[in-house]
Amino acid sequence: MSYAKQSEILFLWDGENWNPNGDMLNSNAPRYDEISRKALVSDVRIKRTIRDYLESKGFEIFVKETDSPKGGLMDGKGRVTALAGSEKDKVEALKNMCIDVRAFGGVFPVGGETNNLTGSMQFKMSKSLNQTEINYIKGTGAFASSEGKENKTFREEYQLSYALFATYGVVNALNSQNTKLTDADVKTIVDALWFGTKNLISRSKFGQLPRFLLKITYKEAGSYIGGLDNLLVLKTDKPQENEIKSIEDYTIDFSKIKGELEKNSDKIEKIEYVSDGKLNTENLPSGWTKLEYGI
């Protein structure tokens, strides 16, 4: 079996008047760094987007809400038993069955032990490239506050005006044999990152769109540049970044990434990218292989 090669992934996606990742400990307001004034999205949210899309396409997913025969939701031990059944090596069975286990690993209660599997594909906390702000919106609901009352219920929500996020991930070839992650799995997950983001059509996330995806494949395990998201430069004519309201209001400069890739070209097998064609870019090398995803 050919296991996944070392690679880096950089994914740009945006949205307007939305909440990409609500913080349950803060009235479900968008996650936000008060110091940098930039919005945040957790790696858990990114993986959830991927998992939900893959499940919709018929893939077996380990981490998902599952009803328990006893009522309520199934716990981790129950989920392991439901999938692996009487298999002697249940963790090995889960690797064979579940693409999210091969990619992201997991915690598996088996017998009286807890088995931890470190995933071969990891994403860091995503941060918006632009400074943005959170808007507080209040309105009325459709129903009375209680039966027979004239007053309607109130609703409250928090939204970002606009944000362009840079999501960065690494495929660790040194660990891929342990988790059984393959190059075919990586392609499937990268596709799910793009299309899962586009097809997450809920009230709070409607309108978010994938804009650009870069994948760098290396010749040797353990080789990677790191922090590609921090090498992007956002340029705008707006007096302040929080005045950016759409994709038309800025340009993304790839010159720093281009320079790093040129310095390490002997370690790189191939560079591929996908673009929706609407993102304004500078210094995007013509030598990179452009893939066509369509709609």
pLDDT at 153: 64
Computed over every residue of the chain, the mean pLDDT equals: 93
pLDDT at 151: 60
**In what helix (H) or strand (E) does residue 165 lie, and over which residues does it extend?**
strand 152-171
**Domain definitions of the chain by residue range:** 7-290
**CA distances, 173 to each of 13, 152, 231 (Å):** 26, 56, 23
pLDDT in tens, 168-183: 999 999 999 999 999 9
**CA distances, 142 to each of 28, 139, 177 (Å):** 21, 10, 54
Tell me whether strands 268-275 and 289-290 are parallel, antiparallel or unpaired: parallel
In this predicted structure, which of 140-144, 227-231, 238-242, 271-275 has the lowest mean pLDDT?
Answer: 140-144
pLDDT in tens, 19-57: 999 999 999 999 999 999 999 999 999 999 999 999 999
Tokens of 251: 């340009």
Helix (H, G, I), strand (E, B) or coil at 36: coil
Rounded Cα distance, 261 and 258, in Å:
5
pLDDT at 50: 98
Does the pTM exceed 0.85? yes
For residue 148, name the pLDDT band (cuts at 50, 70, 90).
low
pLDDT in tens, 78-90: 899 899 988 899 9
pLDDT in tens, 190-209: 999 999 999 999 988 988 99
Identity of residue 107: V
Cβ count near 119 (within 10 Å)? 21
Highest average pLDDT, of 113-117, 147-151, 227-231, comes from 227-231
